[in-house]
Amino acid sequence: MEHHSLTIVEASRLIRGGKLSPVDLLESILQRIEVLEPKVEAWVTLDPHGARAAAEKMADEAGQGKIRGPLHGIPVGLKDIYNTAGLRTTMGSQLYASHVPEGDAEVVKRLREAGAVVVGKTETTEFAYLDPAPTRNPWNLGHTPGGSSSGSAAAVSSLMVPLAFGSQTGGSTIRPASYCGVVGVKPTYDLISREGIFPLAWSLDHVGLFTRTVEDAALALDVVAGTQTSRVLKAPPPRVGVPKEFYVRVAYDEVKQGFDAALRRLEGRGAEVVEMKLPASFKAVHDAHRVIMAVEAAAVHEKSFKQKMAGYRQNIRGYVASGLLVPATSYLQAQRVRRRFTGEMLAAMEGLDCVLTPSTTSPAPQGLSSTGDAAFNSPWSLTGFPTITVPSGLSSQRLPLGVQLTAPPFEEARLMGVARWCESVLGPIGSPEMQVEQGA
């Protein structure tokens, strides 16, 4: 097995046992990037010099028996809205093309302290909104990888790194993870520090992460959030709530068929599937999310926007402009919808291990002009509930499909345990490796 194809768990075990040097692991990763990056375009800035220095230090420590933890020597990618000391951070915008932060974001500090090796910065849509990055979907280069965490999802999917970080304000972690056939996690709001990460909307922004397995995701979450989810990944067949009225109205036929097939497999292995009713407040959820996000994005950009409007791309320019026009009363009404829906959903989830829906409304759309629809993701960004997507199959065009699991706040241990069980039942969907290397 090539080193670049190792999961975090596999690589960590080998490093800890003295059978793999972090230097050799990094070199395999860098060679992989050199081959695939011209096709996938997952990276905006690579730092091979800094990464090699960090890998050599981790190799020296490992040789002395000093292992910092499960991410010791593990290569990682960071969405280009995370501050990285001395390394360019552009937010996907020409306005920040030469911006070099003096310090690291809090997540980056924790990763470095844990021994992770920062390979570089992954592509993002401009200011983590809708104007697309150049990144392509490794499963089919003619399709979007999703956004806004486009590069992070594609880098993990194409085996360029085993771990990458992104963010989610609407669906920017779960959606690209599903489109690219990997595991994506959006933890509870504020469980992971957002200090040093450029905001889109303060009360909706979440740190997100991408791996190839649930176990890897649990290890990474433990490091950056201080949780212990990796110790409790065994779970019995769960009791899951399925809001059929939600996904039947919105999902494409192929997604509905794939989701129903996944449900049958889960039920066949002992899961109890309960059709659940969504509260009346759900009808206003997507509108409330849009209002809050627009107003807060406008507040983030107000000063810069007035001075440098021409430097903003079309989608983010229109969004900020519209947010500046929203009355304060509309923002407050949207927040009232948010509070009501959060409370009603908590009541509706009683007695369930999690809520289960498709991860996306469709497989990854063709072309790079759209990053996809966040309809299944934004309700949980609004409430701040933790979510995870697990690959569940392939479409007729061999594009990944996924299932999204949602739990109450700070129930990451429960969520990850159920996700691991679902992963074991649904099984692997394979790798996009051949499609990427053939330039399909």
- DSSP, collapsed to helix, strand or coil, labels residue 69 as coil
Give catalytic status of residue 283 as yes or no: no
Q: Which of 172, 178, 281, 378 is catalytic?
A: 172
For residue 59, pLDDT beyond 90: yes
| Predicted TM-score (pTM) of this structure | 0.97
pLDDT, one tens digit per residue, over 15-55 is 999 999 999 999 999 999 999 999 999 999 999 999 999 99
Tell me, which fold does domain 1-276+347-440 have in CATH? Amidase signature (AS) enzymes (3.90.1300)
pLDDT digits (tens, 9 = 90+) for 76-111: 999 999 999 999 999 999 999 999 999 999 999 999
| Residue 178 near residue 401 (C-beta atoms within 8 A) | yes
* Other CB atoms within 10 Å distance of the CB of residue 316: 22
Can you tell me whether residue 212 is helix, strand or coil?
A: coil
Q: Using the predicted structure, report yes or no on whether residue 438 has a pLDDT greater than 80.
A: no
Structure tokens at 407: 């739990």
Active site residue 28: no
Which of 28, 148, 150, 359 is labelled catalytic?
148
Instruction: Report the SS3 class of residue 192.
Output: coil
Write the DSSP assignment of 125-190 as a string of letters: -GGGSSS--S--BTTBTTB---SSSHHHHHHHHTTS-SEEEEEESSSTTHHHHHHTTSEEEE-STT
Tell me the mean pLDDT in the region 413-422: 97
Residue of 12, 21, 28, 79 marked catalytic: 79
Decide if 21 is catalytic.
Answer: no
Tell which wins on pLDDT, 262 or 233: 262
Q: ∠ CA(256), CA(135), CA(416), 5° rounding?
A: 50
What's the mean pLDDT when you consider all of the chain? 96
Q: For 129-169, write each residue's pLDDT tens digit.
A: 999 999 999 999 999 999 999 999 999 999 999 999 999 99
434 pLDDT more than 60: no
Residue boundaries of the structural domains of the chain = 1-276+347-440, 284-334
Tell me the pLDDT band of 437, cut-offs 50, 70 and 90: low
Residue 1 clears pLDDT 90, i.e. is over it: no
**pLDDT above 60 for 126:** yes
Share above pLDDT 90 across residues of the chain, in percent, rounded to a whole number: 95
Instruction: Please give the average per-residue pLDDT across 387-403, as a whole number.
Output: 97
